[in-house]
Structure 1
Amino acid sequence: MKESNEPALRRDANAEMVFEIDPASVRTEYELLRLMRRLIALYGFSHFMIARLPLAEQQRFSERLVLSNWPSELVRQYDAGEIFQTSALVEQLRQTKLPVTGGAELLEAARRAADRVPARRIEPPPDMARHFAVLLHTTYGEPFVVMLSGKRDEPIGTERAMLYFTLVQLLECLERTFDTGNVAREKLSGREIECLRWAAAGKSSDEIAIILGLSTYTVSSYFKSATRKLDAVNRMQAIARAMRMKLI
């Protein structure tokens, strides 16, 4: 039985797991995050990561990261070592359209890159011992790395095919959240976005008024209208939604 606006889980005659998704019902990254958490729980993984494929040598991992539940310390290690763009994971995905699987070596710099630059030691948690990764493209051809990590064995056969198809659907959901963000950006005025951006940086209404050369009353009005347009209940939720939509 399906729950409202939730993916239904069932088993077919071959006892293979199926994760049903209605892409049209997913409009925010928060909803996609919930789907990803349910997916990894169903398939026995513990972590997931969705990131834009690095297109240049000097790109911070955190800047390419779109959605994940990776430990913050692991993300910091990747940034400090500038490892993502030279990793074995990215190198292998560039050379195949098939899923890439492996252990800790996928998170390390590829051998030829490690020969050029002293490798930093990456220490993922014990429950990220094995990885299943695919390279997927949006409708407009933008490449994304999607990786699931855990302690389970490599998916094979029908399970592998179903998992791949499900990740394709989830990327379509992610692309829809980009469209939602673009619509919200068109609705929000430049001043509303500026106010939200300064508030996210920790500035008070009085401070924002001084920075923008406005009255405190006018700043308050911008916050109220932005909160309404983002369908939020208060200023903090409006800021959080604007950040998830990459508006600020």
Structure 2
Amino acid sequence: MSIMKRIADEFGLDHVTIMAAPTPHDLAIAPLVLESTLPQQFAREFDKHQFLRHCPILPKFANTVLPQTWHLGENGPSSSFFCPDKMHELMTRFGLLMGTIFPMNSVDTGRYFLRYDGQRPPLHQVELNELGMISLHAFDVYDRMRRAETAVPNILSARELEVLRWTAQGKTSIEIGQILSLSDHTVNAYMTNAIKKLDCVNRTQLVAKAIRLKLIN
């Protein structure tokens, strides 16, 4: 996500969001968001009023795969983003005065949106084209990492996870062996396998990555 935030910064944009494409039945944006730099308070207020169903941009994607841009009028909803007054007020308060959404397709056939928001003047066509190409490559990298991490829980065996949990609690191989009725040699073998499977270099990195992937608490 840090890479995509740097991309946004390069174009003078303030926020970037990766989200699953909404369906006509979705009423809230929070469950759809995978990653975002938008304040959580914005999402809470947005969903409190169910503004997702009033968004004038999303219906346009039913008939096109092209990116969609918008900007807010200074004194109220504009022709490119006609929305309820309260929605206009909320977006203005959080500095979301303009933006663009790029539709993205995952290799697993999932449909996603890459959304940028900011306070700068609307993007010129050249900027929009450049941002679109960069975003496409960035999303491809993100998508491959996401799918790889989703598959990780099935990689480690139950015994490897058990040894990993005790390691995270500060137990040595000898202590873990006594707890699990294993030799310290066998414990070390489980740890070595887990390190290789998660592409780590030592136990410290292994524990940190396992926590990040939510394999252990």
TM-score range, shorter chain: 0.5 to 0.7
Equivalent AA in structure 2 for residue 123 of structure 1: L
The 1:236–1:62 alpha-carbon spacing in structure 2 relative to 1, beyond 3 Å, is: farther
- Find the residue that maps to 1:57 and give its secondary structure: coil
Taking only the aligned residue pairs, the percentage that are identical comes to: 16
Alignment partner of 1:233 out of 182, 205, 210: 205
Tell me the equivalent position of 1:153: 121
Equivalent AA in structure 1 for residue 44 of structure 2: R
Equivalent AA in structure 1 for residue 90 of structure 2: E
The 1:71–1:155 alpha-carbon spacing in structure 2 relative to 1, beyond 3 Å, is: same
| 1:95 pairs with 2:95 | no
TM superposition score normalised by structure 2? 0.67
In the aligned structure 1, how far is the partner of 2:62 from the partner of 2:163?
41
The 1:46–1:192 alpha-carbon spacing in structure 2 relative to 1, beyond 3 Å, is: farther
Deviation, structure 1 residue 73: 0.3
Tell me the equivalent position of 1:68: 36
In the aligned structure 2, how far is the partner of 1:177 from the partner of 1:226?
21
Deviation, structure 1 residue 190: 5.5
- How many residues are paired up? 188
The 1:178–1:45 alpha-carbon spacing in structure 2 relative to 1, beyond 3 Å, is: same
- Find the residue that maps to 1:174 and give its secondary structure: helix
In the aligned structure 1, how far is the partner of 2:49 from the partner of 2:193?
39
Alignment partner of 1:165 out of 130, 133, 146: 133
Any unmatched runs of 5+ in structure 2?
170-177, 181-186
Deviation, structure 1 residue 80: 2.4
Q: Which moved more, 1:70-79 or 1:58-67?
A: 58-67
The 1:190–1:122 alpha-carbon spacing in structure 2 relative to 1, beyond 3 Å, is: farther
In the aligned structure 1, how far is the partner of 2:160 from the partner of 2:42?
34
Bigger radius of gyration: 2
> What is the root-mean-square deviation in Å for CA atoms of aligned residues?
4.0
Tell me the equivalent position of 1:50: 18
Deviation, structure 1 residue 181: 1.3
Q: Deviations over 1:34-84 (max 9, x none)?
A: 211110111100101110012351454222111110101012123323333
The answer on whether the counterparts of 2:71 and 2:122 sit within 8 Å (CA) in structure 1 is no
Equivalent AA in structure 2 for residue 64 of structure 1: L
In the aligned structure 2, how far is the partner of 1:182 from the partner of 1:62?
20
- Find the residue that maps to 1:155 and give its secondary structure: coil
Deviation, structure 1 residue 158: 2.1
In the aligned structure 2, how far is the partner of 1:227 from the partner of 1:121?
50
Q: Deviations over 1:117-141 (max 9, x none)?
A: xx77762344321111122212343
